Amino acid sequence: MTTASAEDRRVRPKDRKQRILATAAELFRTSGYHSVSMSDIAAGVGIVPSALYRHYRNKQELLVAVFDNALSRYEETLADCDDPFECVSRVVGIADDSQAMDQLWSRDRGHLRPADRALLRLRIVGVSESLEKAIAQGAGPAGVPSRVAAWAVLAIVNWPGHRPLPVPAGDRQRMMLTAVRAVVNACRGDGEESHPWPANGTVDESSPVPTEPATGLLPVARREALLNAAITMFAVNGYANVSLDDIGEVVGIAGPSVYNHFASKRELLVCGVNRAFDAMWLELGRVLSQTTDPAIALDMLVSGYARFAQAHWDLIAVCLSHTVMLDPDEMMALARTYLDYVGEWRRLVQLCRPELRADEAQTLVDLTLAVMDGVVRVDGLRGPELPHHAHRLAKAVLQAPLVT
């Protein structure tokens, strides 16, 4: 009788290690590192677990390898590239192979050992600096800072790891190229004096924008204080790495006392996600009630969203990367809410740009939100000027002529 190991050796494909990494990245992305076992990964590849352990000793080593694989692609693709448009085009070209990285880093980096996490963080920053250096070539003094633009490009190419783009597969790279080229042009200051849309929604920089949600006074209401603390801790440390005891300690109560306000840790997550969308819908309703001009409405929406995203970057991070912890019914409800919300943006975009198909308009909206959500989640970027920069980048993406 043929043993499993003997059969495994006989049919082992040459690309097995790459298949393991691709399978692990997708399972981690869709189910969360905490919920995936080595047996799940082996089954996904079509091998027995013992064959998987010949390549990786444990799940944490495999998570490190997934990050290393994605970062290596970025590093190789950007090596010796100085032209900004060539660099961003190359990055779009590897998007399919690296789309899990942002999702995993945002949600699951807490599972890494501190030394591994620190090294990978340095490499991620190194990728952004390579892009920044290239984008800075030809940047204008009135343009968006190249550092902000570099992180915006990475946010665009990683967006499909959070939500699939609604255009056909053959159009996805074309739409991402449209968006990343718009970001480069915004850095150069191209077209700043000839935007066809009004600036009525421009950020009022006399009004301060919070940069960290955990600063300032805590709410007196214990339930609110617990929710605020939990969302920030989920965003910083990862949902699976935060306990009710941890949350209670921040607020000054024992962990079991949290049950007086929330039935579970998951309820805290659900409450935070619902609150984010409630706030976004309220802002959208306010904007639509103030004008009948779709261009003004869209500009006001972008401005308001940029300010909201910075003030609540932790809520943005949780909505993007931690909703995998929701049950199927909650996930479906959230997906419907998101589609309804971006549908309002899409309608305004199509009124301003009737030449766009519905799926093209929605993709531009998705990538616009990706830019704003992406830059506010970078610790070193948050500051008084960031909503203004995010607004300009978002506007550039929404107005960009499609790459043919």
The pLDDT of residue 196 is: 54
pLDDT digits (tens, 9 = 90+) for 289-345: 999 999 999 999 999 999 999 999 999 999 998 888 888 898 899 999 999 999 999
Q: Can you give the chain as a three-state secondary structure string?
A: CCCHHHHHHHHCCCCHHHHHHHHHHHHHHHHCHHHCCHHHHHHHHCCCHHHHHCCCCCHHHHHHHHHHHHHHHHHHHHCCCCCHHHHHHHHHHCHHHHCHHHHHHHHHHHHCCHHHHHHHHHHHHHHHHHHHHHHCCCCCCCCCCHHHHHHHHHHHHHHHHCCCCCCCHHHHHHHHHHHHHHHHHHHHCCCCCCCCCCCCCCCCCCCCCCCCCCCCCCCCCHHHHHHHHHHHHHHHHCHHHCCHHHHHHHHCCCHHHHHHCCCCHHHHHHHHHHHHHHHHHHHHHHHHCCCCCHHHHHHHHHHHHHHHHHHCHHHHHHHHHCHHHCCHHHHHHHHHHHHHHHHHHHHHHHHHCCCCCHHHHHHHHHHHHHHHHHHHCCHHHCCCCHHHHHHHHHHHHHHCCCCC
- pTM assigned to the model: 0.89
- For position 218, what pLDDT does the model report? 72
What would the pLDDT profile of 53-98 be if each residue is shown by its tens digit? 999 999 999 999 999 999 999 999 999 998 999 999 999 998 877 7
- Tell me: pLDDT of 350 over 80: yes
Report percent pLDDT > 90 for the chain.
71
Mean pLDDT, to the nearest integer, of 343-359? 97
Domains of the chain: 1-57 (1.10.10.60), 189-399 (1.10.357.10)
Q: Is the pLDDT confidence value at 25 over 50?
A: yes
